[in-house]
């Protein structure tokens, strides 16, 4: 069986999603060289305060952690693009495993009751075929031993992609709305809201605004990436 696998790998090698080099059989999705180039965010007090600053005066968040810095034309942008648009859903599993172990070691989310993903509108979900956060969220769920709850918060409107909008336009766009289908399930609970990238924070603020209609809810946030200023 291993011989057949070796022959298949010879003709159909797995490629690094960033540099497209052939992966060794011990590597998954991203080669060792590119892994070493990933701009992992340090988990320290100064950095965490900086990350939280995007939400000051907008919503109350207990804790926030992001795994990677995001900039245009960077390795993070390429990986996120592959995850979202190139049917490379398992990248979420790879990143979730790495990030989840870091979060478990820090203990920052040890009192979380549910993990909740930022949802896709049903039309976009049908077109893409998957929510890029599903495998990421399920992997965090398994590592942190926290239930993944994807069906309570839904996206009720759809707008064109915001990737190319100016930062102010993205934040001031109020056409995107989210709705809770159950206002009791998160009562007196601490939830971890997850997303792929924080840019202006507008999407997460919109989600939190709806979630905060629940009595005595506490919200923390975890994302794959955070847009590095400058």
Q: What is the per-residue pLDDT for 97?
A: 97
Report CA-CA distances (Å) from 203 to 87, 159, 199, 200. Answer: 23, 12, 9, 8
Class (C level, CATH) for 40-227: alpha beta
**pLDDT tens per residue across span 161-184:** 444 444 445 444 455 689 999 999
**pLDDT tens per residue across span 72-85:** 999 999 999 999 99
Which residues are within 8 A (CB) of 186 and not within 5 positions of it... i.e. 6 or more apart? 113, 114, 152, 180, 211, 214, 217
Instruction: Output 3 or 151, whichever has higher pLDDT.
Output: 151
Query: Domain map of the chain by residue range?
Result: 1-37, 40-227
The CA distance from 182 to 131, in Å, is 21
| Sign of torsion over alpha carbons 54, 57, 58, 63 | positive
pLDDT at 9 over 60: no
**pLDDT tens per residue across span 18-36:** 998 999 988 888 999 999 9
């Amino acid at each position: 069986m291993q011989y057949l696998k070796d022959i298949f790998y010879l003709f159909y090698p797995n490629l690094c999603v960033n540099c497209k080099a052939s992966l060794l059989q011990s590597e998954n999705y991203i080669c060792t060289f590119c892994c070493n180039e990933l701009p992992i965010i340090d988990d320290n007090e100064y950095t965490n305060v900086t990350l939280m600053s995007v939400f000051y005066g907008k919503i109350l968040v207990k804790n926030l952690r992001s795994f990677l810095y995001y900039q245009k034309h960077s390795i993070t942008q390429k990986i996120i693009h592959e995850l979202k648009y190139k049917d490379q859903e398992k990248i979420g599993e790879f990143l979730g495993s790495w990030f989840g172990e870091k979060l478990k070691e820090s203990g920052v989310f040890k009192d979380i009751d549910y993990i909740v993903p930022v949802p896709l509108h049903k039309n976009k979900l049908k077109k893409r075929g998957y929510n890029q956060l599903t495998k990421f969220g399920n992997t965090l769920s398994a590592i942190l031993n926290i239930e993944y709850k994807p069906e309570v918060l839904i996206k009720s409107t759809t707008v064109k992609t915001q990737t190319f909008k100016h930062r102010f336009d993205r934040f001031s766009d109020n056409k995107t709305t989210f709705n809770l289908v159950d206002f009791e399930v998160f009562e007196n609970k601490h939830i971890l809201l997850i997303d792929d990238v924080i840019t202006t924070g507008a999407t997460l603020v919109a989600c939190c605004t709806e979630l905060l209609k629940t009595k005595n809810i506490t919200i923390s946030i975890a994302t794959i990436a955070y847009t590095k200023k400058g």
